[in-house]
Amino acid sequence: MKIGITYNLKDEITPLSVLSREHNEEYDNITTIDAMCRVLKKNGFEAVKLGAKVDIFDRLRKEKVDFVFNVAEGYYGRNRESIIPSILEMMSISYSGSDPLTLGLTLDKIMAKKIFQFAKIPSPRYGIVRRLEDADIINNSLSYPMIVKPAWEGSSKGIYNSSRVNDKNELGRNMKLLLKKYPNQPILAEEYIKGREITVGVLGNGSPKVLGLMEILNKKDPREDFFYSLEVKRDWEKLVDYQLPPDIPQTLDIEIRRLATHAFKEFGCRDIARIDFRLSEYNEPYILEINPLPGLSPQYGDLVIMAQKQGISYEGLILMILNSAFSRCGIERIEKTKVEIV
């Protein structure tokens, strides 16, 4: 069986990379794609690196792959993650992960908020900023501190150490910066949830299973308030500790699992997602967002770290994602007892 991998690379020249390095932040290093290829080959598949450039139609026609492992983030706009899956659907090629609609709904944090509200999944109160003048409405309707972020980015693009704001001046300054840096999308102002951060891996379909809950901790001083900004993600080895399982009451653990699987199902996620939560000072969980294309770097992917902390190898994780997709697509599963979740 021939499996193609669709992806974007950090060192690719893309329509926006010429403006700033930050635009390629979500993309993969070739070492990640190589690691995925090694897993596929070791398990008897032929692996083809397809990329996700504008020649993808020709690449797919030429290579005649049987299945695609999709980790492509796309180039720009809130539909960017949906484009490769849409092309694959048009060409009737089965692929791993969520479909174009789920990828679009989760990438656009404003659309996601509406579904969280509808599904009664608590998420921080928010306001939408389209022009600088909206600062007044936000200032009068939400409580400080707030965090200001672009509405449809990932990998903490546009979320800096300075993005938590305490007053109207700071709010205005941050909004101005983001409206300039990300001019083609709204900005989201959210009430800042001061407390702990937990990310949750969810795998499967139909009755998805929680892979684990992992706390993101401030390595320097775990008691000091902390958030996962772009600067922190870039310097994760020095600044971040990961704890699995987090030291939380059992009732809260159960509630976070319930909310994570509920969100996964409500958005129609497939095969894999990493879902981010913050806990308030009173241990109330708030969902921040759903990542149906979680980073799979063998070194620093949060989901990979989460798997490894419970004895699941990189190979095991990749095969679990594949097996979920294979079951869904009617392809025979890869049988290896070690990759089954207990």
Ligand X SMILES: Nc1ncnc2c1ncn2[C@@H]1O[C@H](COP(=O)(O)OP(=O)(O)OP(=O)(O)O)[C@@H](O)[C@H]1O
Nearer Cβ to ligand X, position 218 or 327? 218
Nearest CA to 53 among 92, 23, 9, 17? 9
| Residue 277, helix vs strand vs coil | strand
d(C-alpha 126, C-alpha 128), whole Å = 7
Q: Cβ of 13: how many Cβ atoms within 10 Å?
A: 8
Tokens of 176: 């101005």
- Report the alpha-carbon angle 101-103-109, nearest 5: 105
Nearest distance in Å: CB 137, Mg ion:
26
C-beta closer to ligand X: residue 65 or 164: 164
Shortest Å distance, C-beta 249 to Mg ion: 24
Site for Mg ion in 236-295 (CB under 5 A): 276
Smallest distance, Mg ion to C-beta of residue 288, A: 6
102 binds, among Mg ion, ligand X, none (CB under 5 to 8 A by kind): none
Our CB check for ligand X shows the closer of 174 and 323 to be 174
For ligand X, the closer of residues 192 and 264 by Cβ is: 192
* The entry of Mg ion, ligand X, none that residue 124 binds, CB within 5 to 8 Å by partner kind: ligand X
Rounded to whole angstroms, the Cα distance separating 248 from 156 reads 26
Q: Can you state the angle between helices 314-329 and 30-42, rounded to 10 degrees?
A: 70
Q: Among Mg ion, ligand X, none, what binds residue 81 when CB lies within 5 to 8 Å by partner kind?
A: none
Which positions lie near ligand X, rule CB under 6 A?
124, 147, 149, 153-157, 159, 190, 192-193, 197, 227-228, 276, 278, 288-289, 291
Cis preceding-peptide flag for 145 (omega within 30 of 0)? yes
Is residue 153 a contact point for Mg ion (CB under 5 A)? Answer: no
Q: Does 26 sit near Mg ion (CB under 5 A)?
A: no
Is position 302 an interface residue for Mg ion (rule: CB under 5 A)?
no
Contact assessment for residue 151 and residue 106, using Cβ atoms and an 8 Å cutoff: no
**Distance, CA of 337 to CA of 316 (rounded, Å):** 10
Residues 170, 177 contacting (CB under 8 angstroms):
no
Residue 108 binds Mg ion, judged by CB under 5 A: no
CB of 282 to Mg ion, least distance (A): 22
Which residues contact Mg ion by CB under 5 A? 276
